[in-house]
């Protein structure tokens, strides 16, 4: 009897490359599955919070648009309007500085403060255009006028409101506050503002002037060491300035 060898199914052996491929495919499938799940969660989040998200985005867009509208339609025209209203006040201020007659000068200073010819003075500009460059400059001018008129407390009040972008102008404002405090016999406060003045700008025009004033006030207060230090700075750093002409005599006084 003939016998036949039964052919059984021979399991196909996977090669190393085939296994790596399958492993890669499995990993990729898992990654995509994970991404799908993540995307679904994000979609659910947006669906649940859609209203809040749109409100948030709208607020940002509205804020940006509102600022742009304010800047072009309110702020810029308001700034320009303030500058235009400075013209009359500045004209009287400049005239007062050149008036030979003290009475006439004071009258022009008053017009610069309160306005004339139906136009604003510095006081109205400072009040109505507060927060603008014009209002800021009006505070500076008011402080200088009140100093010239001998109203030193008012001078300090207005000059203290001035916040200058220009270092030299800011130094002059601090220095004028220092001068006003000297007139009020408040030497300690004067010295404080002279220090601010030469710290604000180190140019020879303002710094040397306020180092000298600071040194003189310190000398009057009996603080020779501080006075000597400031006089030495003038001699070493600002030797070509007018303030350095008699600096050796001051150095001798402060020894």
238 by DSSP, 3-state: which? coil
Q: What angle do CA 204, 200, 161 make, to 5 degrees?
A: 130
What is the CATH number for 204?
1.25.40
Residue 19 has pLDDT above 70, yes or no: no
d(Cα 162, Cα 153) in Å, to the nearest integer?
A: 15
Q: 163, 194, 227 — which closes off a domain? A: 163
pLDDT at 22: 43
pLDDT at 165: 80
pLDDT at 133: 86
pLDDT at 193: 97
Q: Which residues, other chains included, contact 252 with Cβ-Cβ below 8 Å and sequence gap of 6+?
A: none
- Total structural domains within the chain: 2
Q: Are residues 187 and 237 in the same domain?
A: yes
Give me the chain's average pLDDT, please.
79
pLDDT at 218: 96
**95 domain residue, yes or no:** yes
pLDDT at 41: 54
3-state helix, strand, coil in the chain (%, to 5): 80, 0, 20
Q: Are residues 112 and 190 in the same domain?
A: no
Lookup: tokens for 169: 């102008």
For residue 81, what pLDDT band results from cuts at 50, 70 and 90?
confident
Nearest Cα to Cα of residue 232 among 254, 217, 210: 254
Higher-confidence position of 44 and 69:
44
Q: 163, 194, 217 — which closes off a domain? A: 163
Mean pLDDT of 170-189: 96
Q: Are residues 153 and 69 in the same domain?
A: yes
d(Cα 111, Cα 175) in Å, to the nearest integer?
A: 25
Mean pLDDT of 196-200: 94
Q: Which residues, other chains included, contact 123 with Cβ-Cβ below 8 Å and sequence gap of 6+?
A: 113, 114, 115, 138, 142
Residue 229 has pLDDT above 80, yes or no: yes
Q: Are residues 105 and 156 in the same domain?
A: yes
pTM summary value:
0.69
For residue 205, what pLDDT band results from cuts at 50, 70 and 90?
confident
pLDDT at 149: 93
d(Cα 169, Cα 163) in Å, to the nearest integer?
A: 9
pLDDT at 186: 97
Q: Are residues 80 and 149 in the same domain?
A: yes
d(Cα 252, Cα 215) in Å, to the nearest integer?
A: 13
Range of the domain at 204: 181-255
**222 domain residue, yes or no:** yes
Dihedral-angle region of residue 121 (phi above 0 means left; psi in -120 to 50 means alpha; beta otherwise):
beta
Residue 40 has pLDDT above 70, yes or no: no
């Amino acid at each position: 009897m003939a016998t036949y060898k039964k052919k059984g199914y021979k399991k196909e052996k996977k090669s190393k490359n085939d296994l790596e491929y399958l492993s890669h495919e499995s990993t990729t499938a898992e990654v995509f599955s994970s991404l799908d799940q993540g995307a679904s969660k994000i979609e659910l989040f947006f669906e649940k919070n859609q209203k809040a998200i749109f409100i948030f985005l709208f607020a940002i867009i509205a804020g940006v648009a509102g600022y742009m509208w304010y800047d072009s339609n309110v702020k810029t025209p308001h700034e320009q309007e303030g500058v235009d209203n400075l013209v009359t006040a500045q004209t009287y201020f400049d005239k007062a500085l050149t008036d030979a007659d003290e009475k006439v000068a004071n009258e022009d200073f008053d017009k610069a403060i309160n306005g004339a010819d139906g136009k604003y003075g510095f006081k109205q500009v400072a009040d109505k255009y507060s927060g603008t460059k014009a209002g800021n400059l009006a505070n500076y001018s008011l402080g200088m006028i009140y100093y010239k008129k001998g109203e030193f407390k008012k001078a300090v009040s207005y000059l203290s409101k001035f916040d200058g972008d220009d270092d030299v102008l800011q130094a002059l404002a601090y220095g004028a506050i220092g001068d006003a405090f000297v007139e009020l016999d408040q030497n300690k406060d004067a010295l404080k503002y002279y220090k601010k003045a030469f710290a604000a700008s180190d140019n020879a025009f303002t710094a040397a002037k306020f180092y000298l004033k600071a040194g003189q006030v310190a000398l009057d207060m009996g603080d020779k060491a501080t006075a000597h230090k400031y006089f030495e700075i003038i001699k070493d750093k600002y030797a070509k300035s007018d303030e350095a002409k008699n600096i050796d005599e001051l150095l001798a006084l402060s020894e």
